Amino acid sequence: MNTIEKFDKHIMHSYGRYPLVMQKGEGERCTDENGKTYIDLGSGIGTNSLGYCDEKWADAVCNQVRTLQHSSNYYYTGVQAEFAEKLCETSGYDSVFFGNSGAEANECAIKIARKYSFDKYGKNRHNIITLINSFHGRTMATLSATGQDVFHNYFFPFLEGFINVTANDIDDLKSKLDDTVCAVMLEYVQGEGGVNALSQDFVNSVYDLCAEKDVLIIADEVQTGAGRTGKFLAGEHFGKKADITTMAKGLAGGVPVGACLTTEKCSGVLSAGTHGSTFGGNPIACAGGIAVLERINGDGFLGEVNAKAEFIRKELEKCSEVESVSGLGLMIGIKLKTKTASDVAKKALENGLLILTAKDKVRLLPPLTISAEELGDGIRILIDILEE
């Protein structure tokens, strides 16, 4: 049996996959089992933030594997302490809980918001407002939080206590922000929802209204965080800092990690025994995370991310098939005039280019470290397909 046949036989069919068997990767390119190479402008949905097998990152991870691969959270490890310190310093937050994925980070955020409110105001103030078209994960709570009906099938009953409002509609938010609400949860740029940034006015109003009522703001930066948008956190573009921010994807460069960051206000909400995760704060993930943070904090790193983002946007604007380009930094959505995003992604694969889609758009999440040359080649392939 070949690899695809083994997948078909033994792995649940919960993903629609492209017919590509990845074997190895280096920098911005991966190689399939037949030796064909691909420029990857998707980076594992923004997870391989430093590209494939970055040398310093790989050294850090491998050294950690050979030193201490796991410790239960009954004990302390230096590597988790260092990652937490660096992450809090870089993000400006006070404390963090580590899990293993974006959904887990969001679960933690939901629990913190509800307990913060319960501790201070008692019962019946547990509702969380989320935005239509949002995506917050695949666990029962995060699916319930996700503001897309398409995700609300089969798995009934969903968790109670999530109220959806239309993104960028301040009146809708005002009408639903009553005394039962403990938090508003948002993505500054909705990734899976189609790479749509919130408006500054809407974000301002959310912050103002929530401050008046001591309603917490949870920023889901699972996709937008860790330098993806050209700032460490996308909230910085809006001049805002949420009470709780969640991160995952690119934060540890490809080893599983989730982080739920809080300001001082919520740092003490989770007391001993109220939350936990066997693998959370795993030393290997933390070593990967430290390597990513050291790189992002290096001189000029985010400046280069922004320069590359500008290059892509300028090139795409010249393309006659492109209707519009959305997103922030290296989180890019491309609305097409006549072609479908899924056809373009299939064609790109044939031509040695990996790209993503989000709703009806082509989506690019290149490695933050992609070289100008490989980026230029990748965009050329894409534009040639679009103009065919």
Residues of this chain that bind ligand PLP (CB under 6 A): 101-103, 106, 135-137, 187, 191-192, 220, 222-223, 248
Beta pairing partners, 353: 39
In whole angstroms, the minimum distance from the beta carbon of 181 to ligand PLP comes to: 20
Task: Kindly tell me which of 218 and 293 has the beta carbon lying closer to ligand PLP.
Answer: 218
In whole angstroms, the minimum distance from the beta carbon of 23 to ligand PLP comes to: 24
- Reading the block at residue 190, the tokens are 């909705």
Q: At what angle do helices 283-296 and 301-317 cross, to 10 degrees?
A: 70
Task: Kindly tell me which of 252 and 322 has the beta carbon lying closer to ligand PLP.
Answer: 252
In whole angstroms, the minimum distance from the beta carbon of 187 to ligand PLP comes to: 5
| Residue 223: Cβ within 10 Å count | 28
Task: Kindly tell me which of 216 and 386 has the beta carbon lying closer to ligand PLP.
Answer: 216
In whole angstroms, the minimum distance from the beta carbon of 148 to ligand PLP comes to: 12
Task: Kindly tell me which of 248 and 381 has the beta carbon lying closer to ligand PLP.
Answer: 248
Beta pairing partners, 29: 26, 39
In whole angstroms, the minimum distance from the beta carbon of 67 to ligand PLP comes to: 26
- What residue is closest to ligand PLP based on CB? 102
Q: Which among 106, 107, 114, 81 has a CA at the least distance from the CA of 95?
A: 81
With 0-12 CB in 10 A as exposed, 13-18 as middle and 19+ as buried, what is 346? middle
Compute the half-sphere exposure of residue 38: CA atoms within 13 Å on the CB side of its CA. Answer: 30
Task: Kindly tell me which of 138 and 339 has the beta carbon lying closer to ligand PLP.
Answer: 138
| Alpha-carbon distances, residue 135 vs 64, 196, 241, 308 (angstroms) | 33, 12, 20, 26
In whole angstroms, the minimum distance from the beta carbon of 224 to ligand PLP comes to: 7
Please name the amino acid found at residue 387: E
Task: Kindly tell me which of 164 and 374 has the beta carbon lying closer to ligand PLP.
Answer: 164
